[in-house]
Amino acid sequence: MKLFNRRSPLWACAALALSTPAFANDGYHLWLGEPRGEAASATVELAGDSPTLQIAADELRRNLPTLDRPVMLARASDPALAGLPIDTRALGTEGYRVQSATIGGKAVTLVTGATDTAILYGAFALLRHLNSGGDPAKIELASAPETKLRILNHWDNLDGVVERGYSGQSLWDWWVLPDFKDPRYADYARANASLGINGTVLNNVNAKSDSLTAPYIAKAAALADVFRPYGIKVYLSARFSAPIELGGLKTADPRDPAVAAWWKAKADEIYRAIPDFGGFLVKANSEGQPGPRDYGASHGDGANMLAAAVKPHGGIVMWRAFVYADTDPDDRAKQAYTEFKPLDGTFADNVLVQVKNGAIDFQPREPFHPLFGAMPKTPLIAEFQITKEYLGFATHLAYLGPMFEEVLDAQTGVRRGETVASVVTGKADRHTLSGMAGVANIGRDRDWSGGTFNQANWYVFGRLAWDPTLSSEEIAREWAAQTYGNDPVIIDTVVKMMMRSREAVVDYTGPLGLAHLFASGHHYGPGPWVSDLGRPEWNPVYYHRADKNGIGFDRTRTGSNAVAQYAPSIAKRYADPKTTPPEELLWFHHLPWDYKMPGGNTLWEELVRRYDRGVAEVAAMRAQWATLKPKIDAERWTKTDVFLGVQQREALWWRDASLAYWMSLNGLKLPAGSAAPQHSLEHYKQVRFAYPPGNPQ
């Protein structure tokens, strides 16, 4: 057995570089930047008072550069604003307006909205405008969130391990809560409020019943007290079998009155401690988690029982559609649709079905989930992964904005102009409940996300959750300016790197629609040869189906017919390899190695070309980053450079291991100009990891 040595010479150099005395910027302040101190001398006036307004005012006093007029924070209902030509009716309860105004004969920059939280969002919008190069003489900002729920899902376990998290231990120190509230909790809330994120699920969807006990409810209440002034509600993942494990019942059947009564009492207990508790997130009957199907009941039965428990308090239930079972022999990509589509219209009005962006599992690229557009009577909340479970953990640069945008902009085909974004905002079917959820990449690392560029994924999720129509490239520019300063050379270089980065990861891990080719358990590194795991759908060979004759998963009517789950116009496009986008080709089709691709290459030649392109892109990103060394503080530059070196080495590892395996099946030679793998296939098969991060042991 060969252990992959993370302490190679490259890492030794990294250790030396990072052990030098403290540098200017360790990334703690995220995109918000360090307080300006004396340079921030803007005058801020408050019309009214509350903890939230005080936070907004303090934020501006610490960070706002001098303006030619004072800033006034005032609710839209304040009498001082009466008669002003300001219409805030379309902004709802969270939208803001920032503009010049004359109040009481004095010129001011007015930040207003219907609620104090809206004003807080407006204060952050003003800072964002100025810190990303906006003209201080032209401040006219107005925005309202397109989605009601903008939520982070923390996959944090009670023992401090973050499942699929690559930035250290859990931010929540359950051991010393509720007594000690780490100041980082307020900084976390501040960062989320700057993006308009208004909810956080504190614990892993693979939930422990202990999270619902009185001691842990008190701990959650302490966090809720910190988050409340920032407009953030707390939610809990609920283990479906808790009535058995905590209540001593013999069943968790949602149709049993005793079970319903237990959950009602538990909800009442939680709301006594946390009056604005948001509700429950539930993973049920998936990957071994208990659920209503254990009792012959439906997901609707389970969700509605919990919804009834929280409804008197204004709570909601987010019921995940990520389900697959070894008892179902059908294509894994079909199972969520098969189970949930027939339940459309049966869910209570305070239930949202939470649907992953794709039908498998947060792959570097997946077609949009066929449930989007298929459940018009049910509000759907889109679930994205911010943490990079399948995209190189924290060390590979992969800006996820283009991936989020690709899914949100996808046409469902159900009706003209309907997109995934219009479904999750509720506009397509006029739902009042709507939202986006992101699996958080936040931990106890000093820089929060394990690296500066990982912070951009937290940032772009928040911005797109607020408004899914925003451009991921414009968001990247906005983030780069706030994070690294307004030097146009830095911004242009950083944005170019970011916008190509995710496609590079796709190219060197699974080009042309290949997916789930990762090593077992930890999902780090290549393992397309894995075939000995207990369930078929855990094995990469299940997904690529490669042999001497061809490669790819046939999801047309000659195969699993997963294409039939899409609207007819989309299904027709995906059913024909000639009209299937090349980027998704092998997701839907099993094709011979000599299949002719657009442009004339064979499938094999195109596959190799894309692997090579992915490796070359990483080398190019590292070279571009090197040009910024004189312009960026040493600490952040060095860490990113080391990580790009790791990515460059591992992209080549991915490329070589994958090609060695495909060549062992198809017997083909590499195209001219493409280098042979550095090692044998057996070498790559023997690579092992001990205790990888984010993988509970």
Residue 604, domain CATH: 3.90.1330.10
What confidence score (pLDDT) does residue 24 get?
66
Is 400 in the same domain as 366?
A: yes
**Would residue 498 count as lying in a domain?**
no
DSSP state for residue 596 in the 8-state scheme: B
Which residue in 287, 330, 473, 487 is the catalytic one? 287
Give the range of the structural domain holding residue 611, as residue numbers without chain letter. 506-553+590-688
331 is a catalytic site residue: no
Which residue in 361, 507, 635, 656 is the catalytic one? 361
pLDDT for 205-235, tens place per residue?
999 999 999 999 999 999 999 999 999 999 9
Which residue in 146, 253, 366, 389 is the catalytic one? 389
Q: Which of 88, 123, 143 is the last residue of a domain?
A: 143
User: Given a cut of 50, is residue 8 above it in pLDDT?
Assistant: no
Domain of 327, CATH number, reads 3.20.20.80
Is 127 in the same domain as 168?
A: no
Is 538 in the same domain as 473?
A: no
pTM above 0.85, yes or no: yes
What confidence score (pLDDT) does residue 20 get?
37
**Would residue 490 count as lying in a domain?**
no
Q: Which of 143, 163, 189 is the last residue of a domain?
A: 143
Is 540 in the same domain as 655?
A: yes
Is 450 in the same domain as 538?
A: no
Is 297 in the same domain as 444?
A: yes
User: Given a cut of 50, is residue 1 above it in pLDDT?
Assistant: no
Q: Which of 120, 143, 166 is the last residue of a domain?
A: 143
389 is a catalytic site residue: yes
Q: Using 50, 70 and 90 to split pLDDT, how confident is the model at 696?
A: confident
Mean local confidence (pLDDT), 460-489: 98
Is 369 in the same domain as 452?
A: yes
Is 387 in the same domain as 515?
A: no
**Would residue 496 count as lying in a domain?**
no
Report percent pLDDT > 70 for the chain: 96
What confidence score (pLDDT) does residue 697 get?
66
**Would residue 572 count as lying in a domain?**
no
Is 168 in the same domain as 302?
A: yes
User: Given a cut of 60, is residue 15 above it in pLDDT?
Assistant: no
User: Given a cut of 70, is residue 19 above it in pLDDT?
Assistant: no
The total number of structural domains in the chain stands at 3
pLDDT for 288-338, tens place per residue?
999 999 999 999 999 999 999 999 999 999 999 999 876 678 999 999 999
Contact of 200 with 192, CB cutoff 8 Å: yes
612 is a catalytic site residue: no
> What contacts 24+ positions apart, CB below 8 Å, involve 463-466?
463/195, 463/196, 464/401, 464/404, 464/405, 464/408, 464/436, 465/145, 465/147, 465/150, 465/195, 465/196, 465/197, 465/435, 465/436, 465/438, 466/143, 466/145, 466/146, 466/147, 466/150, 466/195, 466/196
What confidence score (pLDDT) does residue 326 get?
66
The structure tokens listed for 34 are: 């360090």
Is 338 in the same domain as 199?
A: yes
- 554: which residues sit within 8 A by CB, 6+ positions away? 545, 560, 588, 589, 590
Domain of 139, CATH number, reads 3.30.379.10
Burial class (CB in 10 A: 0-12, 13-18, 19+), 355: buried
pLDDT for 124-178, tens place per residue?
999 999 999 999 988 999 999 999 999 999 999 999 999 999 999 999 999 999 9
